[in-house]
Chains A and B, each alone.
Chain A
Amino acid sequence: MRLFSTQALAIAALACLPFSLSQTTAAAEAGPQNAVQMTIDFLTRDDANLRAIGLERVRYGLKGEESTQQLAGLLPRLAPARQLELTAALSDRGDRAALPALLALLQSSSDVAVRATAVQAVGVLGGAPEVAVLTKSLAAADPEKSAARRGLAVVRGAEATALIAATAKQGDADLRSTLIDILADRRAVAALPDLAAAAVADDATVRTAAMRAIGKFGGPDQVVGMVQGVLKAAAGGERDDAERALVTVCTQNPRHEQSATIFLEQFKSADDQTRETLLPALGRVGGAGAIAIVDGLIADTNAAKRKFGMNALTKWPDATVSDRLLDLLGKVQDPDERELLLGALIRIAPLPDNKLNNQQKLDLLQKTMTLCTSDEDRRRVLERANAIRLVETLRFVVPYLDDPNLAEPACLSVVELAHHRNLRDANKEEFTKALDKVLGTTKNEELVDRATRYKQGQTWERKKPAGS
C-alpha cells in the first residue's frame, strides 16, 4: 500500500516537471505506472541528460529478469544510435535475460556499430549456446569481427571453452588460428592437449597460433608436444617463433625449471638431426645441463658440430657464459665466428637479468670494447652501454665523444644516462660537462633538445612507437 502511494506521489511529481517530461508523465500515468516504464520513456528522449538518467537505471537499478526483458524489449523501437547506448548498458547490467533481445537485434540490424556492440554484449552475457553465433561473427568485417573476438574471450563457462576448442579443430586455417588465439586469451588449460595437437598440424598458420598459445600459459606437461611443434615448424620465421614459445615455457612460465629439465631430457634422447634442430632453443633456455652439452659440441673435432655449439652459446639468456665467449673470442680465426661471439657479448653484457651486478656488467662491456676491431662493433658497445645506469658508464662513454666516428653513439648514451634524474642529479657537475660536450658535438636535433632540457633539470617524454 505504501509502495503504491510512493509511486503515485512520484508520478504526480513528474507532472510538475517541465521540458519534455510532460510526455513521460502521461506515459507513466497511463500504463502500469512503474519505474521501468519511466526509464523506458527516458531512453527514448532526445535529451541526452534524460537518457543518461535512464541508462544509469538500466545499468545499476531495476533489479530482476522481468525488468531486464522489458528494457531489452525496447531495442527494436529505437534508432541505431539509441540501440548502441542501450545495448552497452544492458551488457554492463550483466543479466542474461537480455540475451534473446540482443540476439534478435543481431539478426535484424545491419548497422555495423550496432552489430559490433550487440556481439560484444552477447559475449559478455552469453555462455556455450552463444558460441556459435559469436564464431559466425568472426567471419564479418571489423568492428564486428573484433567484437566477436573479444566476446569469445569472455563468454562464460567451461562448456563454452570446450565448444571453442572443438571448433578450432577443423575448418578454415585462419578461423582455427583466431580461435586458438582466443583459447590462449581465455587461458583455457583444458584445451592444452588440443593445442598441442594443433602445434603439429599441417597448416603453418594453425601451428604457429598453437605454439604461440601454449607459450602464453603452457607448463611442463606441454614441453614434449612443443618440442614436436618446433621440429614440425618450417625453418626460418616459423621455427624461430616456435622456439621462442618453447623457451618462454622453459624460462618464464610457472614451473619453468621443471619444463627446462624435461626439454633437456628430450634433447638428450633425440637423434643427431633432431638435436641439431633443437640446439638453438636449448641455447636460449640456457642452464647448467645445457652448457655441458654445448661445451661438448664446441670441443668436438667435427667442424659442423662445433659451429652448432657456438651458435647455441651465442643465444644464451644470461652472462654465465661470458668467460667462455671471451675465451673463444681470443682463439677463433674465422671472421664470421668472431663477429658472432662479439655480438653475443655485446648483447649479453647489459641485459637486466643476466646475473651480474651493474659494475660487473660494465666491466664485461669494457672488456668487450677492447676486443672490438671495427668501429661498427664499438658503436654497438656504446649504444648498449646506457642500459647500465652508473656514473662509471658515463665516464666510460665520455672519451668517445672526441672520436668523430663514434661521437654520435656516445652522445646518445650520455643523453640516455642523463635521462635518469637520480643518476643525473647525484653527479650533476659531470653530467653538465658531458651534456655541454654533446651539445657541441651531435648533429641530432632530438639529442640537442634532450640535452638542453636535462641540463635545465627538465623532463623529456619519450615518443611512443607508432601504433602503440
Chain B
Amino acid sequence: MAYNSASLDKPLETLKSFDWGGDIAAFEPIDAAVIAVHADPAARADLEKRLAALLGAGTSRAAKEYVCRKLSLIGTAASVPSLASLLPDTDNSHMARFALERINAAEAGAALRQALGTVQGDLKIGMISSLAGRGDTACVPMLAAQLTSDSRTAVAAADALGRIHTPEAVKALTAAGGTSDQAVAAAIDDALLACAEFLLQQGKRSEATAIYKSLADTAAAGTTLAAKSTRLAAARGILACLDTTTPS
C-alpha cells in the first residue's frame, strides 16, 4: 500500500486525545503507514515529522506512548530532539528511552548521555539502562563515575558496564573494586564475569583469564555466599580458558 500523508490527518488528530482502553482501530492507517514507508525515505521522513510533532504539549500520555512505539521503528536523528525533551518527564521518560534505545543514530546516544548528567533517581537509572541497551561505548567514563554514586545507581552502572564489556569498561569496573557496599561489589563481580564471558566467546582467552584471576583475588578471603559464588565462577572460567580444544 502506497503512503498517503493526507489520509493520516484524521487518525493523527484522533490520536491526540487517545486514552488507554480506547478504540485503537482508528489508528490502523498509522500502523499501515509505518509499514508502507519502510523503503521510501521521503515518506518516512514525512511520517516521522508528523508523529514527532505529537510529542509536545496537548497530546495525551497514551498517545505519546503510541508515538514512541512507532518512532522506535521508523525514527531517525530527526526525532531525537522531540524524544529527548521527554527524558526528564517522569510520565514519559521510559517511553522516550524505549524509542531512543532503538533509533540507529549517534544523536540518540548523545541525548541519553546528556540526560544522564541532568536527571536523578529512577530516571537516571533508566538512562544508564538504555545506554547499556544501545551498547554505547562513549558513556563508559560517565558510567564509571556513577560507580561511586548511591547504591542503586552504582549497581545499575556496574550492570551497564558489564553489558558494554569494552576494555575501558573492564578497567572502570576493576578500579571500582574494593567498595564496602556489598550490593555494588556483587554487581561489579557479576559485570566483570559478563565481560570475561564475552572475551572468552571472542577467543581472547588471556584477557578473560586476567579478569577471572582478578575476581579470584578479590573473592579469596570472602566467606559470604556471594564470595563463594564468585570463586566458583572464576574457577569455571579459568578452566574454560585453559580448554583450548573447545571453541569458545
- A6 → chain B closest CB, angstroms: 5
Are B239 and A38 in contact (CB-based, < 8 A)?
yes
- A23 adjacent to chain B (CB < 8 Å): no
Are B221 and A60 in contact (CB-based, < 8 A)?
no
Are A17 and B206 in contact (CB-based, < 8 A)?
no
Are A63 and B246 in contact (CB-based, < 8 A)?
yes
- Kindly report which residue of chain A lies nearest to residue B204, judged by CB atoms: A6
- Which residue of B205, B212, B245 contacts A67 across the interface (Cβ within 8 Å)? B245
- B32 adjacent to chain A (CB < 8 Å): no
Docked pose: A6 CA to B206 CA in angstroms: 5
- B228 → chain A closest CB, angstroms: 7
Digit string of A13-37 for contact with B (CB within 8 Å is 1, else 0)?
A: 1101111010000000000001100
Chain A residues with CB below 8 A from B209, complex form: 6, 9-10, 13
Are B231 and A14 in contact (CB-based, < 8 A)?
no
Docked pose: A325 CA to B244 CA in angstroms: 75
- A42 adjacent to chain B (CB < 8 Å): yes
Q: How many residues in A have their beta carbons less than 8 Å from beta carbons of B?
A: 33
The interface of chain A, by Cβ under 8 A from chain B, is: 2-3, 5-7, 9-14, 16-19, 21, 34-35, 38-39, 42, 49-50, 53-54, 56-57, 60-64, 67
- B84 → chain A closest CB, angstroms: 45
Docked pose: A56 CA to B212 CA in angstroms: 18
Are A13 and B238 in contact (CB-based, < 8 A)?
yes
Are B216 and A60 in contact (CB-based, < 8 A)?
no
Are A18 and B231 in contact (CB-based, < 8 A)?
yes
Given A6-B241, A18-B221, A35-B242, does the pair A56, B213 have CB atoms closer than 8 Å? Answer: no
- B210 adjacent to chain A (CB < 8 Å): yes
Digit string of B37-78 for contact with A (CB within 8 Å is 1, else 0)?
A: 000000000000000000000000000000000000000000
Are A50 and B217 in contact (CB-based, < 8 A)?
no
Are B242 and A10 in contact (CB-based, < 8 A)?
yes
For chain A, what secondary structure do more than half of its interface residues adopt (helix, strand, loop), or is it mixed?
Answer: helix
Chain A residues with CB below 8 A from B238, complex form: 10, 13-14
Given A6-B206, A60-B246, does the pair A39, B239 have CB atoms closer than 8 Å? Answer: yes
Chain A residues with CB below 8 A from B240, complex form: 57, 61
Chain A residues with CB below 8 A from B210, complex form: 9
- How many inter-chain contacts with C-beta < 8 Å in the A-B complex? 83
Identify the 4 closest CB pairs spanning chains A and B, nearest first.
A13-B213, A35-B242, A63-B245, A61-B246
Given contacts A13-B234, A49-B232, 6 further A-B contacts (CB under 8 A): A3-B244, A13-B209, A16-B213, A17-B220, A18-B220, A57-B240
Are A53 and B239 in contact (CB-based, < 8 A)?
yes
Chain A residues with CB below 8 A from B115, complex form: none
- B243 adjacent to chain A (CB < 8 Å): yes
Docked pose: A94 CA to B226 CA in angstroms: 35
Chain A residues with CB below 8 A from B242, complex form: 6-7, 10-11, 34-35, 38
Docked pose: A62 CA to B240 CA in angstroms: 9
- B236 adjacent to chain A (CB < 8 Å): yes
Are A53 and B206 in contact (CB-based, < 8 A)?
no
Given A18-B220, A19-B231, A63-B245, does the pair A12, B213 have CB atoms closer than 8 Å? Answer: yes
Chain B residues with CB below 8 A from A14, complex form: 216, 235, 238
Docked pose: A448 CA to B228 CA in angstroms: 54
> Which of B210, B216, B228 counts the most A-chain CB atoms under 10 A from its CB?
B216
Docked pose: A10 CA to B213 CA in angstroms: 7
- A31 → chain B closest CB, angstroms: 13
Chain A residues with CB below 8 A from B234, complex form: 13, 17
Chain B residues with CB below 8 A from A11, complex form: 242
Docked pose: A34 CA to B245 CA in angstroms: 11
Digit string of B217-233 for contact with A (CB within 8 Å is 1, else 0)?
A: 10011000000100110
- A108 → chain B closest CB, angstroms: 29
